[in-house]
């Protein structure tokens, strides 16, 4: 038992280690699902990428689906935090900066570091209602964070406009990643940036990549 004073430190240490291991598995699962999709990797692969055994994986998650749902939840939370970061860092210029970042870095980064909104949405549409509910909740939180942010050039004014902007961003990144030509990929990003930001989109934003 962990109710004796001399045992408390070791008990806390074991709890902390368990929490850290779970988070490591969840982080690795998120990267794996972004890169390979839900059907492209199994529990053995998820465990291997996290540096644990398959048995250890099942200590923390009942199934691959459970890990996927939590990966979706964490990924959408990370996007929400990213929005808040841009608002805090760039103030009134945050929305153009966010759009440029999304159409630049998130278009060209490794899939393991891609946005859950863009990379996991197609997977979620094929899965159960619970995964879709997690995604919808996260999407609403992201939209609310955008609308609650400081006034910024071309910032969406209502939920409809915000959803259109997010759909444009993820659609552009998905399409740009699917083509083999870097010139066309950049053109897709450039056209989307101009549509969302107008004159606030820099003319050289995608000439040489992000």
Query: What homologous superfamily is domain 64-200 in, according to CATH?
Result: Tetracycline Repressor, domain 2 (1.10.357.10)
Residue 209 pLDDT: 42
Please state, for a pLDDT cut of 70, what percent of the chain lies above it.
91
pLDDT band per the 50, 70, 90 thresholds, residue 123:
confident
Average pLDDT, the chain: 91
Residue 129's pLDDT band, with cuts at 50, 70 and 90, is confident
Report whether pLDDT(2) > 60.
no
What is the structure's pLDDT at 207?
54
3-state secondary structure of 187: helix
pLDDT in tens, 161-183: 999 999 999 999 999 999 999 99
Q: Report the distance separating Cα 3 and Cα 156, nearest Å.
A: 54
Cα distances (Å, whole numbers) of residue 204 to 129, 181, 194: 42, 18, 11
Are 64 and 46 in contact, with CB atoms under 8 Å apart? yes
Which of the four pLDDT bands, split at 50, 70 and 90, describes residue 122?
Answer: confident
How many angstroms from the chain centroid is the CA of residue 133? 16
What are the tens digits of pLDDT across the range 183-209? Answer: 999 999 999 999 999 999 997 766 544
- Tell me the pLDDT tens digit for each residue of 7-62: 666 665 788 888 999 999 999 999 999 999 999 999 999 999 999 999 999 999 99
């Amino acid at each position: 038992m962990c109710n004796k004073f001399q045992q408390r430190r070791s008990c806390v240490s074991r709890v902390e280690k368990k929490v850290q291991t779970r988070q490591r598995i969840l982080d690795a699962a998120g990267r794996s699902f972004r890169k390979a999709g839900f059907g492209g990797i199994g529990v053995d692969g998820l465990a291997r990428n996290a540096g644990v055994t398959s048995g250890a994986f099942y200590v923390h998650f009942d199934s691959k689906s459970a890990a996927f749902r939590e990966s979706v939840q964490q990924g959408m939370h990370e996007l929400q935090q990213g929005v808040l970061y841009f608002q805090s860092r760039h103030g009134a210029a945050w929305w153009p900066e966010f759009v440029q970042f999304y159409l630049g870095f998130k278009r060209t980064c490794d899939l393991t570091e891609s946005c859950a909104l863009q990379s996991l949405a197609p997977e979620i549409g094929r899965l159960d209602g619970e995964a879709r509910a997690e995604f919808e909740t996260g999407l609403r939180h992201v939209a609310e964070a955008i609308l609650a942010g400081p006034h910024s050039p071309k910032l969406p004014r209502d939920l409809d406009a915000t959803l259109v902007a997010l759909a444009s961003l993820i659609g552009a990144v998905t399409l740009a990643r699917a083509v083999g030509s870097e010139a066309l990929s950049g053109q897709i990003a450039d056209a989307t940036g101009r549509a969302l930001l107008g004159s606030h989109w820099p003319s050289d934003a995608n000439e040489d990549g992000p």
